[in-house]
Amino acid sequence: MRVLIFGASGRTGQLATTEALARGHTVIVLVRKASSMTPAEGLTIIEGSPLNQPDVERAFTEIPKGAPEAILVTLAAPRATDSPFAKPIAPPFFMRDSVRNVTAVMKQHGVKRIVIMSAFGAGDSSAQLAWPLRLLFRQSNMSFQYEDHDALDADVRVSGDLEWTLVRPVMLKEGEARSVRELGEVGEGAGMFDSVTRASVAEFLVKAVEEGRLAKKAVVIAN
C-alpha cells in the first residue's frame, strides 16, 4: 500500500514508519525537519507542517505512483521536554486542527482510510480510567493534550464517509513488540497499571491500516 504518515518523527511514529517499510509498503512522511528521518528505500520525506494545508496537499501529490491509499496519524502535541508534564509548546488543539487539514485533503483525493493514534482516557473512554489517573490526566499539564484528543475524537466521528479508526493505547513504555489485547472502545477491564510498548502500538497501527477491520471504531489496547 501507499501509506502517508503524519507524526513520523515522534517516538511511536518512527517505529510505525519502520514497521510499514518492513512490511513492504511505500511510505511518505510529512515532518517539520527532513533531518529527523533516516532515508530508506521506499520512503519519501516531505518537509512541512500538518497545520498548513498546502503542505498536506503537497504530501498527497508527491507520493510515488499516485495518491496515498491510507493515512496513519501518530501526532503528539510538542512539549518543552520529553516529560509528559512539561509545558506545551504547540498551539491549542494542534492534533485536532492538523487532522482537520488531513481529512479535508483526503476528501479531495478520494482517500477513505485513516488510522489515528489517540490515548486511553480520551473521549468516551475517560470514564473507565481509575480516578487517580483521571485526576492526573485532567488536572495537570497533561490536560491540554486530553482536551485536544477529545476534540479530535469528536471531529473524526462526524467526518462523513471516512473509514476512521481511533487507537487508544494505555500507558506507553519502551520495549519490544508483544501481543496486544483489544479492550473494546472504552477499555473495559483495563487496569490502572496496564501498559503497552511503543513497538506493540506501532505494529498494531500498521496492521489496522492494512486490514481496515476497525473502520469507524475506537479501540483501547494493552499488552
Quick: pLDDT tens for 116-131: 999 998 889 888 777 6
Which of 186-191's residues contact partners 24+ apart within 8 Å by CB, and which partners?
Answer: 186/124, 186/125, 186/127, 186/128, 186/218, 186/220, 187/120, 187/125, 187/128, 187/129, 187/220, 188/128, 190/120, 190/128, 190/220, 190/222
Quick: pLDDT tens for 168-179: 999 999 999 999
Q: Are 198 and 178 in contact (CB under 8 A)?
A: no
pTM for the full model?
0.92
- What is the model's pLDDT at position 212? 92
Task: List the domain boundaries for the chain.
Answer: 2-222
Across the beta sheet with 2-6, what order do the strands follow?
A: 43-47, 26-31, 2-6, 70-73, 113-117, 163-169, 217-222, 181-182
Q: Taking Cα atoms as reference points, which of 183, 147, 157, 152 lies closest to residue 168? A: 183
Q: What is the homologous superfamily of the domain 2-222 according to CATH?
A: NAD(P)-binding Rossmann-like Domain (3.40.50.720)
Q: Residue 198 is which amino acid?
A: R
CA angle 33, 8, 43 (to 5 degrees): 85
- What is the model's pLDDT at position 118? 96
The share of the chain scoring above pLDDT 70, in percent, equals 90
For the chain, 223 residues long, give each residue's pLDDT as a single digit of tens. Answer: 999 999 999 999 999 999 999 999 999 999 999 999 999 999 999 999 999 999 999 999 987 778 899 999 999 877 667 666 667 777 889 999 999 999 999 999 999 999 999 999 888 988 877 766 766 666 565 666 888 999 999 999 998 899 999 999 999 999 999 999 999 999 998 888 899 999 999 999 999 999 999 999 999 999 9
User: Do β-strands 195-197 and 171-173 pair in parallel, antiparallel, or remain unpaired?
Assistant: parallel
**Dist. CA 11–CA 76, nearest whole Å:** 10
- What is the model's pLDDT at position 90? 77
**β-bridge partners, 211:** none
